[in-house]
Structures are given as structure tokens and as C-alpha cells.
Amino acid sequence: MYPFPGSAPVPEEKLKKFRRGVKGELYKLRDVVIRSEAASDLAQKQNARYDLMLPEDAGFLEGDEDEDTCTISQDDIVDAVDITAGAKYFNLTLSQFGPYRLDYSKTGRHLLLGGRRGHVTCLDWQSKQLMCEMNVMETVNDVKWLHSEALFAVAQKKWLYIYDNKGIELHCIRKFNDVLRMQFLPYHFLLATASATGFLQYLDVSVGKEVVAICTKAGRLDVMAHNPHNAIIHLGHSNGTVTLWTPNQREPLVKMLCHQGGVRSVAVDKTGTYMVTSGMDKKLKVYDIRAYRPLQSYFLPAGASCLSLSQRGLLSAATGDIVQVYRDVWGIPVTKPYMAHRAKGSVWGVHFCPFEDVLGVGHGEGFTSMVVPGAGEPNFDGLDANPYRSAKQRQEWEVKALLEKIQPELIGLDPSQLSQVDHSTWEQRHEDRVQVLGFDPLAKEKFTPRLKTKGRSSSGKVEKRKKQVAHEDQRIDKERKEKEKKKAAAAGQKSALDRFRK
Amino acid sequence: MAKSKAARKSGETMKIASSCETVVQGMDDEDDEELQRALADDIISASEDEGGSDDERKHCKLLEAISSLGGKKRKKLTERSEASIQVSEFTVNAEGEGDKINLSDLIGTLDKTPSALIKTKKQLKNLQHNQSTLETPLTRKETEKIQREVAFEKTSKEVSRWQSVVLQNQKAEQLVFPLNQEPSGPKRIEHVVAGWKAQTPLEQEIFSLLRMNKQPLHDPVLTPTEEASLRAMSLEEAKIRRAELQKARVLQSYYEAKAKRGKKIKSKKYHRVQKKVMRKEYLKQFDEMVKTDPAAALEELKKMELSRMKERMSLKHQNSGKWAKSKAIMAKYDDGARKAMQKQLEVNKDLTQKLVIPADEDEEDEEESAETLPDFVNDVEPILDQVNPWMRGKLSTEPMMEESNRLDPPVWPREVGKPGEGQDDQEEDEEQMEETEEESLLRGFEERRKLRQTEDVKVAPMPMVENDDGKKAEILEISDDDEEAVEISDDEEALEVSDDDEEAGLSNFTSLFHGLVNHMEPPADQPKAGPGLCQGESPALLEEGLVRVRTLEDVELLSQDISASDTALLTTQILGTEETDTQSATQQADKKRKKMIDPNEVLTKEAKIIEMPLAPTAVEDVEDKEEQRVIIKEAFAGDDVVSDFLKDKRKQEEAGRPKVIDLTLPGWGEWGGLGLQPSRSKRKRFRVKVAPPPPRQDQKLPNIIITEKRDSSIAAHQVCQLPFPFEKPIQFERTIRSPVGRTWNTQNAVQKITAPKVVTQLGAIIEPIAREDLIKHNRQAVTGPSINLESDQGPQKRRSQQKKKHKRKKN
């Protein structure tokens, strides 16, 4: 009846995006497994089908012939783009209490600035509406938004303080002293702080309790980043190492020797695949942190003091008073920055704004918001971080997020570990069971060759038959792999007739 | 139960009685006689006592009266009041006095009606000879046990009919109660809307067309024929039918396999025998057919006629082929060939023999009467010319053949005798005909043996024979002659066999001969080749020699060279060895160090210099010296950092390695005390080595330290005990790999994935499954209610489905 029966096919690429785990073959419990497989297939397909339609394209700056994009100034860009986009380039001249560190909220609407000499301000940077402004009359080491734009934490000279967006001091947390750097883990509601005394502390902001305080025994901790993929904290040390931490272990999960000098800055990309570090040896290195393998190493003549990675993988590195933006540092080795901008003072903090093509630069003379085409993710997930949400939506989101809060015990190198059975306990239990029963219920039945007549059950023949069956599963596996290899090889080969194919 | 018990009891008594009888019957004849005699004596004595019986009766009555006085009721002894002296229990009166009933007496009557009850007669006879006694009946306990078993089997069979239903319900993803509802799914518009009619002419036309062609009017509905076919057979019927078909197929395949095997057998003998059997069977069948179904027999006859016609038309067996022609040439000299030709002709004749249709017996008789004069009377006198087969072909075989044809189909010529041949041949043939198959086989073997013997005789003198062609030929001829002499067989096959044998013998012979020759050759060749080699091949060898051997001049030159470059060479050699030594040493060291991780290998990634468009404004005015110092510091700092890191790593590795446990106790078996160490052997013996741990994760990563400590915090949240159907973690992990919640899935998918296992309709009465539903359920099970996880439909279809959902769900 219909010209195209059935539902429309879903493109393979999209299906790939929603793939969870891999299918394999199972010989037992077929019914259950097949059903669950069907369910996950259905879920995957529907997810792919109802994925974002007509997503926005992300573009990059493209220069004319023989023109480096890095020579294009911000003014040129502003001239070229529309008014709203042009308004995203602005300077705040705050020369009195600088240099400034900054933080964007998760939705990218709000900006928090903390001047070294005590000036703290937060504003809706797009409408330039000031939410609060104050001076804490103390040294400010770092500022950080908490889960929403209603709360922020300020690491002051002695203690850690928490303010609301009106600038009212809510908490002074005496347990957290001499904090130098902070990172907020949004799905765990954890505020991780690194102090000058070498302590890495976790504060659960949903209940206001310290989760754990770990003495890193690595001296002053002023380099910190977190991996958005698995919520692991990366700390850089003066002996050139970068250590990876969870709140669950008292020692670093991984210790990587990255630089020959001290580490100056660390940044981890959104997918948790790459880590970029810069050190005193004036090198910029890119690591694959799944395999802990160095991918690229660059030499920057002046070294990079601050690093930041955007949602779409642009890297900003501050060298002195110059902010450089690099594109795709982990791919083909780059020789030139994508963009460069000279700030008015020495750069103290850089941060890409989520969902916007904007890079915020805090420096000695205030703050600069510069336009970096192609930096932000153009398609936001409205349920996760909606830049245009109303107050009501924010409240609802808050409740939901709190309900879905992930416990700190679940932080680990492999975030999918929860979907695995606790093997060691299971094995222990199984052993106990075997002892009680007197036999292993899961043991594979030993092959006993059938008795055959007419001399076919001679001991030699029996052995032969046993050998035929031995290691069958391994053999099958091997054969399958070989077959796949062959198939792949065959697929790679081109036939002579392929040239006529369109 | 009571009834059945009674019945059983009566049965038992019957059994006992019969067993008694059989026991009596089972005796030997002599014993029988003795018994009879004894019985007779008893009876006689009883008859003698008859006079006193009246007194006895009175006495009995008296006793009864006395006993009745006692008040207690006694069992009445029933009196027998029959006329006969001997009263049998079995209500069979023996005729003669004191005679015991014999089975033969009973059977005796059977003899008078011979045809009627032969079967029973036989059975009875068997019974008479059967000496075994019947077994005593089982005890009550045992019988009850057996009954229980039987009852259990019966009921379990009855109950197990539900097994499949129960299993299905257990396995089902979703059960919608009440169970036997109308199957959900698309229905015809006619079913849903009562008053719907095709109104517009277009609609009417379309529907009329569809109806005319018996096509489904709506998308998923089956055609009436399909529905009918679905309804036609129940599952069980279908199963039975399928089983039947399977069996038939299997049988067919067995038969085919057998036929194939038979076909592959090369033995001609076997096939001949087989054919014979077939023919016999066929004949039998035909005979029967003549009696029972003359029409079919006629058909068969017609078939035969057809085959005859075909044979006549074809040139088969006409001695016109290549083989026949060659044989015709040979026939002059070779008796065998002649006979073979004759055989061919006979076959032809047999096949082309006109059939006589046994339509009417009268006609047959007439024919017979007409044919009393054999045909060959009219024929030419048989010429005793053995040479000419054509003449012999029309010999007086015909009358006999015709006679035989009346009974037999003319397909087979072998059975028919062949008179009228040359006297000797005839005799021989007759002999052959009489021979059984085995005999002929045996004869064949004998022939072969003889052949082999002759061969042996021929081979034996071979070593003596010189390798002369002429002589060889002679021997060959001799062997041929011998073989010809040996040949006795007249059959074509036999001939062939002998031919084959001959060939085989020949080939054997030749191969043997060749082998001998080859064996002989080498020693003969060598002395011959000796001088030839000396003359012909020596120059080449000499040339080679020239190349290899250095001449005096060369030697001289070399010596000069050596003397000149001697020292230099030596020095270089020594140097070289030294170098290699040092190299090897360094390599070894390298290897060692590799184990320890070379600091040079850490942080080896070459850095690429990036050009900067904007030079950073140097804010601080640093003095050159200071800058240099910083640079130097940076350069030297690196080494320190790396070595520190490596030290750290080594420490970690050491900590991870399990320690050797030393269990030596000083003082046991030897002196102990200050400054005294237990002996080395003891220390070695009591040192428990621990298995090495699995390789570290960072084994191959020089600048990485990964902890080997297990993070146990997540274990609290992980599954450690698998739910019921799962046995291994991998199975369970597979099923929980994709999330279920709304955060990660679409609403529809969540609903489907988390659908309840049991759905009940509000207010509906849920009744247990009735027996009548059993079969229906079985049939329905395939299309039973299930969550459709397969279809990932587009948006429009789903909306309609959701509207239909108005069932209340309940877990």
C-alpha cells in the first residue's frame, strides 16, 4: 500500500553515537539475552531517530588567500559579524584589583571574576547585567561557580568561602584552608580543592560535608584540572609530574612524568581522551589519557602559563600577555596558532565559555572577552545545560540533578565500571558455594568420549578424540578472528571493476 | 475397587485351576499312566465303600444337630447330590469311571472337524508339549505397586500435557490476563464498524474487484484461502502428519542408499543373482496377478509386448556391433567367441519372442492342440555346423521356449535350456546350467589359481633368463599358449575374467622383468662407465680443480701480501675484536638498563617549535647572566626529575612484588646462637617462594606509574550476586549494558523496556486455564501477547497504537 513500507531507516552514524557496549555471542540463556539485546537495540534506534534534528553547524575562521587566521584581529571579526555576535567582544578595564581569574557557569550565561586583590564580581555577561560586586578584603586565589549560577565558591587567603549570587556570604569553610585552585564536578556535586599545604579536598556541596581530604605529599598544588568524562582530578606538580586522583584512593591512580621542569598548567578535553600540559621547560604536550601515551609535543618559545580547552577542542594557551588559540592540537602537528590576541596585561586565567564562541581572558588590567569562531558547541542539550532556561526551569533542573547525583564512590578511571559485576566478590562467593556443594556447578562438563565398538575405543583413539575436542572454544575464537581478518582484507581490496562505480 | 478385587480373585482361582491342570498334563506319559492307575484304585475303593455311606450321612446329620445346639453357627457343608460318582470341580463329567480327563479326550473331538480349528489344535498340541508351569500370581503388595506405577505414569503423562503451556507462560515477556482474549492486532473494517459500506462507485468497484479475486481487503489481513489453510489443521495433527512424512522420507532415503550401495557393487555374479531373484519375484507377482487381477496382468503383458517391440526395432543383440563383428572374425578359430555370439543371438531371440496372451483358456487349449506338432518339424534339419552361428540361431528351441513363455515373461534367456547346439557344447552347457552359483564361483577361483600357478612356473625360471628380447618374446608366447590351454570357461564373463587375468599376469610379469633388469643394470653399468668417465668427464672435473686449487704463483703472491699487510691486519683484527667486545658489553649494559628503564628513554617525544605571530612583550628586564643561569638550571633540572621519577617507580614496583617468606628456624638440627647462620641448604629449603604477580599495567610505559591497588569503594554499588537465570557475570553484564531510565531513552522505549510482566484487565475474572484451551493455547502461543521490541516505528503509526492502549497495568 505504501511506496516505502516500514519506518524510515536510521543512518549508521547516528546509531553509532548511541551504541552502548558491544554485542557478542552467548551460547546459554539465549532467551533472556536476546530479549535484552532487542530492548537495547530498540532504545538505541529510537535514540538515534529522535536525536537532534537539523543541528547547527560549527564553523571556523577562514582567512583569505595567503592570510593567516592568526593575524586577523578581534576588531576585524567584530566588523564582519552581526551586532549580537560582535557584542561578545568586550573589555572590562579593572586595573585596580587585578590580575583576574574567572569562571563561566555551566550554561555559559554567567561570568564570575575574582581579582587577586579581593575584587569578586559576577554578572550575566551577555546582557552585561551585574549580579553582585564586592571586595572580600583578602587575597583571592580562585573563584568557581557551583552547580548553578546561584552559588559560587571563592578561595580566599585563609579559608574557602561560599557566596550566593547576591554576594551574601553563606559559608566559611574552615576545613578548607589555603586553597589555591578549585574544580567543580557538576554531576557529583563535589567541589575539589587543591591547597598550598598539599591537600586535595573534596566538598560535597549538596550536603555541605567534606568527603575526603587527601594529603598528596607533593607540595604546593597550584595546577589543577578535572576530566569531564570520568570526574578524575588532575594535579600538576613542580617535579614535572601530573597525578590523577579520585576521592576513593589515598594515592594517585596514575602518575605521569610529563615535563622536565615543573608543570604550569593542565587541561583535559570534554571526551576525556586528551590531556594538554604545559611546563616550565616551555613545552606544550598532548597526551592520550586512555593509554597514557604522548601524542604531540610542541615547543613554545615563551611557554604557556594558562591552558583551556573548548567544547569543540580548541586550545587556548596564554604566554605572557598573548593568548593563542590552537586548533586540533592532537591531530596533525600544528605550526601556527589559529588565533592570537594580545591582552593588556599578563594573562592570569583563560576560560572558554560553554555554548558560545567566546574565550574569556582574565589579566592584570581586567577582563577581555574575545570571539573565537568555532569554539563552543552549537547544539546544547536542553535537559542538561540550557543557556536559555527560566528560573522555574532552573529550579526543576536543580531538583532533578540532585536526585540524579552520582555518589563520590563511583568515581573511577572507568566510568562504566558500575555496569560490571564485582568480579572478585563474585568469585569469592562462588568459591564458597563450591566448597559447600562439593562440586563446581559452573564447571564445564569434562568430555568423556563415547564408547565405541570394534576397536574404535582403543586408548589411542580415545586420546585422539579427546584431543579433537580440547580447546575447542579457543580454536573457534581463533578461527572467527581469522575469518574476520580475511573479510576485512577482502573488503579493503579493490576489484578492477570498481573504477566504473560512481 | 471391590468389584475389581472380586474379579481379580476369581481370576486367580481360575489361574490356579488351570495351573493344576497343566501340571497334570505336563507329566510324562509314563507318569500319567501310573497316576491313572492309582486314581482308578482309589475310585474302586470308594465304590466298595458305598454301602456304608448311608450311615455316614446320618452321622453327619447328628454332628450338625449337636453343633447347632451350641448356638454358634457353623458353616454348612453343602451336599452334593449329583448322580455321578465322580464330580469334577470344573463341571466336566468323565465318561468312564475313575477316568481322569485328558487333554487328548478334549482334543479328540477336534479330529472329527479337521478343517475348522487347526489353529487351536496346534495351540493345544503345543500346550501339551509345554512342560513349564505357570508362575504363581503376584502378591497383593506387588500387584498394588505395579498398579501404582501404571497409575503414576498415566497421570504424569496427563499432567505433562500442560508442561509446554506452563513453560510458555513462564518465558513470556508479558502475560495479559484474562488469557484467552481475542488476539489484538489489526482487524477488518467490517468487524470494527458495523455499518460501513463502500459507497462511492470507485470504492465499490475496487472492493468488488478485490472480492472477486479473493484478495485481502485490508493491509495485514490474510486471504481467505490462507486463513482456511491455517484453520485446516491443528498443531497436533500437523505434528503427526509431519512425523509420518519424515518417516516416509527417511525410509525412502534408506532405500535409496541401499540401492546405491547395491549399484556400486562390481561383482557381476552378485548382479546376476540379484536379477534372478528379481525375476522370480516378478514372476510370482505376475502369477498372482493373473489370478487376482487379470486386467492388470494384461497390462503387464502389454508392457512386455512393448519391450519386445522395442527390442525388435533396436539393433541390440543383433550381432551388428563392433564387438560382435570382431567376434565373428574370431569365431572361425575361437570356440569361446562363437559361443558368445550364439548367446547374443539367443538373447535377441528371447527378447523378440512373440508373447502369447492368456486371454482365454479355450484358445490356449486350441493353440496347444495346434502346436502339438513342434515348429521345428517345418524347419530345415539342424545343420551341425558349429562354425556358422546364423544357422544355429534357428534351432529347435522354439517349442520349449513357447511352452515356457506361457508361464514366464520372456525377459530372461538364461533359464531356458539350449538344445540343438554342437554335441560337446550342449553337454557342457547343460552341465553349466545345472551348476549352482557357488560351484561356478568355486570354479572361477580354481581357474585363477591354475593361472597363477602357471605364472609362477613361468616366473620361477626368470632369473636364469638373460635380457634378450627374443627370448622374452618366446616366453611370452609360451605363457599365452599355456593360458589358452588353461581356458575352459565358455561364458563370456569367464572369458573376460580370464582375459583380465592374462593381462594382469602379463603386466606382473613385465614389471617383474623390468625390476630384474634394473637390478641387474647398475653393477653392469659401472665397470663399463669406468673408462668412459676417465676419458669424457675428467676434463670438467679437472677444470673445477683448477679453480679451487691455488697455483704456486698465487701462493707466492699471497705470502707476499700477507707479509706486507700482516701487522696491519693483525692490529685491525685485534681492534675489531676489542670493538666488538666493547659493543657487546655496552649492548649488554643497555639490555640491563632497559630493564631498569633508561632515563634517556623517558620523555623522548621531540618537540615541534611553534612560530608565534606576536612576540610576547618582555615585561621584566632580565639580565643575560641570570637568564643563562635559569636556562642551565632548567637543563639540569630535567635529569633530576627523571631520575627521581624512576626511583619512585622502582620503589613502587618493589612494594608490589610479593616477598619471599623465610621459615628457617635457627637451632633446629644444628648449632644456633650469636653469629651463627643456619646452613645454606636449610635456608634454601625453608624459603617459600611466592608466585610472581601479574605483570604491572605500566610495565611498558616508562614515564607512567599506575597503582595496582584495587579501588574497592565502587564494589558496594556493584552487583556481586547474580539474579536467578544468570550463571556467569558476562551474561548479566550483557543484559545491563544499556540504561533503562528516561534520561537516556525516549519515552516510548522506556515504556517498552520496562513493561510489566503481568497485565490484568480491571474487573475481568481471571479463570484457570481450561482443558479445552490447551490446544488452542498451544496454537496461540506463537502469536501470543508480547511486547514488540523489534519494530521501531515511525511516529504516525505509534500514535494509533497508543490510543488503543486502555488497559490497566498491574504488577
pLDDT per position as a tens digit, B376-422: 444 444 444 455 545 544 444 444 444 444 444 444 444 444 444 44
Higher pLDDT, B803 or B717: B717
Return the CA Rg of chain A.
28
A40 to chain B: nearest residue by CA? B738
From B95-109, B186-200, B490-504, B582-596, the region with the lowest mean pLDDT: B490-504
Higher pLDDT, B327 or B618: B327
What separation in angstroms does the CA of A391 have from each of A112, B365, B626?
19, 124, 57
What pLDDT is stored for residue B810 in this prediction? Answer: 40
Residues 6+ apart with CB under 8 A from B501: B447, B448, B451, B483
Grid cell 501310573 in the structure block, residue: B34
What pLDDT is stored for residue B70 in this prediction? Answer: 63
Instruction: Tell me if B605 and A44 make a contact (CB, 8 A cut-off).
Output: no
Residue B666, Cβ density class (10 Å: 0-12 exposed, 13-18 middle, ≥19 buried): middle
Query: What value of ipTM does the predicted structure carry?
Result: 0.86
Alpha-carbon distance B555 to A496, whole Å? 64
Residues of chain B contacting A37 with CB distance shorter than 8 Å: 734
Amino acid at A326: Y
Q: Closest to A246 (Cβ–Cβ): which among B618, B634, B711? A: B711
The x, y and z cell numbers of residue B206, run together, are: 475496487
CB A111 within 8 A of CB A128: no
What is the residue-averaged pLDDT of chain B?
Answer: 66
What pLDDT is stored for residue A22 in this prediction? Answer: 78
What pLDDT is stored for residue A433 in this prediction? Answer: 93
From A351-365, B623-637, B669-683, the region with the lowest mean pLDDT: B623-637
Does A392 have pLDDT greater than 80?
yes
Q: E strand or H helix at A293, and its extent?
A: strand A293-299
CB A384 within 8 A of CB A400: no
pLDDT category at B793 given cuts 50, 70, 90 is: low
Q: Residues of B numbered 645-674 whose beta carbons fall under 8 angstroms of chain A's beta carbons: which are they?
A: 645, 648
pLDDT category at A324 given cuts 50, 70, 90 is: very high
Interface test with A, best of B620, B632, B652, B714 (most A CBs within 10 A): B714
What pLDDT is stored for residue B219 in this prediction? Answer: 55
Alpha-carbon distance A71 to A341, whole Å? 9
Amino acid at A278: S
Interface check B755 vs A, CB under 8 A: no
Region A18-25: what's the mean pLDDT? Answer: 78
Quote the minimal CA–CA distance from B210 to chain A in Å. 14
Does A157 have pLDDT greater than 70?
yes
Q: B188-205 pLDDT, tens per residue?
A: 665 666 566 778 899 888
pTM of this structure = 0.57
Does B523 have pLDDT greater than 50?
no
Q: Residues of B numbered 149-208 whose beta carbons fall under 8 angstroms of chain A's beta carbons: which are they?
A: 171, 173
Maximum mean pLDDT: which of A342-356, A469-483, B474-488: A342-356
What separation in angstroms does the CA of B250 have from each of A153, A189, B264, B452, B580?
84, 72, 21, 47, 79
Higher pLDDT, B701 or B794: B701
From A71-75, B274-278, B553-557, the region with the lowest mean pLDDT: B553-557
What pLDDT is stored for residue B116 in this prediction? Answer: 61
Residues of chain B contacting A257 with CB distance shorter than 8 Å: 602-603, 641-642, 645, 703-704
Residues 6+ apart with CB under 8 A from A480: none
Backbone angles phi, psi at B44, to 5 degrees: -60, -45
Alpha-carbon distance A269 to A312, whole Å? 9
What pLDDT is stored for residue A276 in this prediction? Answer: 95
Alpha-carbon distance B670 to B686, whole Å? 15
Higher pLDDT, B324 or A274: A274
Residues of chain B contacting A334 with CB distance shorter than 8 Å: 610
Residues of chain B contacting A324 with CB distance shorter than 8 Å: 612
Quote the minimal CA–CA distance from B737 to chain A in Å. 6
Region A451-458: what's the mean pLDDT? Answer: 90
Q: B631-645 pLDDT, tens per residue?
A: 666 555 556 788 889
Interface check B524 vs A, CB under 8 A: no
What pLDDT is stored for residue A248 in this prediction? Answer: 93
Alpha-carbon distance B346 to B352, whole Å? 10
Q: Closest to A321 (Cβ–Cβ): which among B616, B641, B744? A: B616
pLDDT category at B79 given cuts 50, 70, 90 is: low
What is the residue-averaged pLDDT of chain A?
Answer: 90
The overall longest dimension of chain A from CA atoms, in Å, is: 104
Does B7 have pLDDT greater than 50?
no
From A280-294, A349-363, B418-432, the region with the lowest mean pLDDT: B418-432
CA dihedral (A245, A249, A253, A256) positive or negative: positive
What separation in angstroms does the CA of B619 have from each of A470, B180, B788?
75, 88, 71
Residue A110, Cβ density class (10 Å: 0-12 exposed, 13-18 middle, ≥19 buried): buried
pLDDT category at B712 given cuts 50, 70, 90 is: confident
Higher pLDDT, B237 or A393: A393
Q: A71-112 pLDDT, tens per residue?
A: 889 999 999 999 999 999 999 999 989 899 999 999 999 999
Does B565 have pLDDT greater than 70?
no
What pLDDT is stored for residue B495 in this prediction? Answer: 42
Q: Give the N- to C-terminal CA distance of chain A in Å, as an integer.
A: 32
What pLDDT is stored for residue B88 in this prediction? Answer: 56
CB A203 within 8 A of CB A194: no
In our burial notation (b when 16+ CB lie closer than 10 A, e otherwise), range B157-186 reads: eeeeeeeebeebbeebbebbbebeeeeeee
Q: Residues of B numbered 210-229 whose beta carbons fall under 8 angstroms of chain A's beta carbons: which are they?
A: 219
pLDDT category at B692 given cuts 50, 70, 90 is: confident
Does A162 have pLDDT greater than 90?
yes
pLDDT category at B357 given cuts 50, 70, 90 is: low
pLDDT category at B791 given cuts 50, 70, 90 is: low
Region B317-344: what's the mean pLDDT? Answer: 82
Alpha-carbon distance A364 to A345, whole Å? 5
From A337-341, B47-51, B322-326, the region with the lowest mean pLDDT: B47-51
Does B449 have pLDDT greater than 80?
no
Does A187 have pLDDT greater than 50?
yes
What pLDDT is stored for residue B343 in this prediction? Answer: 84
Interface check B264 vs A, CB under 8 A: no
Does A441 have pLDDT greater than 60?
yes
CA dihedral (B675, B678, B684, B686) positive or negative: negative
Region B438-446: what's the mean pLDDT? Answer: 57
What pLDDT is stored for residue B90 in this prediction? Answer: 58
The x, y and z cell numbers of residue A401, run together, are: 540533578
What separation in angstroms does the CA of A61 have from each of A69, A313, B330, B779?
7, 15, 106, 67
Quote the minimal CA–CA distance from A85 to chain B in Å. 25
Does A191 have pLDDT greater than 80?
yes
What pLDDT is stored for residue A31 in this prediction? Answer: 79
From A112-116, B274-278, B570-574, the region with the lowest mean pLDDT: B570-574
Q: Closest to B743 (Cβ–Cβ): which among A40, A321, A404? A: A404
Region A170-198: what's the mean pLDDT? Answer: 94
Does B40 have pLDDT greater than 60?
no
What pLDDT is stored for residue B167 in this prediction? Answer: 84
What pLDDT is stored for residue B306 in this prediction? Answer: 87
The closest of A410, A435, A368 to A188, measured between CA atoms, is: A410
What pLDDT is stored for residue B120 in this prediction? Answer: 80
Backbone angles phi, psi at B383, to 5 degrees: -90, 130
Share of chain B above pLDDT 70, in %: 45
Q: B453-510 pLDDT, tens per residue?
A: 555 544 444 434 344 444 444 444 444 444 444 444 444 444 444 444 444 444 444 4
Question: DSSP code of A116?
Answer: T
Does B159 have pLDDT greater than 70?
yes
Does B39 have pLDDT greater than 90?
no
CB B181 within 8 A of CB B777: no
Q: Closest to A302 (Cβ–Cβ): which among B616, B720, B727? A: B616
Higher pLDDT, A317 or B571: A317
What pLDDT is stored for residue B776 in this prediction? Answer: 59
Higher pLDDT, A240 or B193: A240
pLDDT category at B81 given cuts 50, 70, 90 is: low
Q: B112-145 pLDDT, tens per residue?
A: 666 667 788 788 888 888 877 788 889 999 999 9
Residues of chain A contacting B711 with CB distance shorter than 8 Å: 246, 248-249, 253, 412
Residues of chain B contacting A420 with CB distance shorter than 8 Å: 718, 729, 733
Does A215 have pLDDT greater than 90?
yes
Region A474-486: what's the mean pLDDT? Answer: 89
Amino acid at B772: E
Region B252-257: what's the mean pLDDT? Answer: 95
Instruction: Tell me if B609 and A285 make a contact (CB, 8 A cut-off).
Output: no
Interface check B752 vs A, CB under 8 A: yes
Q: Closest to B711 (Cβ–Cβ): which among A248, A324, A383? A: A248
Return the CA Rg of chain B.
56
Alpha-carbon distance B41 to B43, whole Å? 5
Residues of chain B contacting A249 with CB distance shorter than 8 Å: 707, 709, 711
What pLDDT is stored for residue A151 in this prediction? Answer: 94
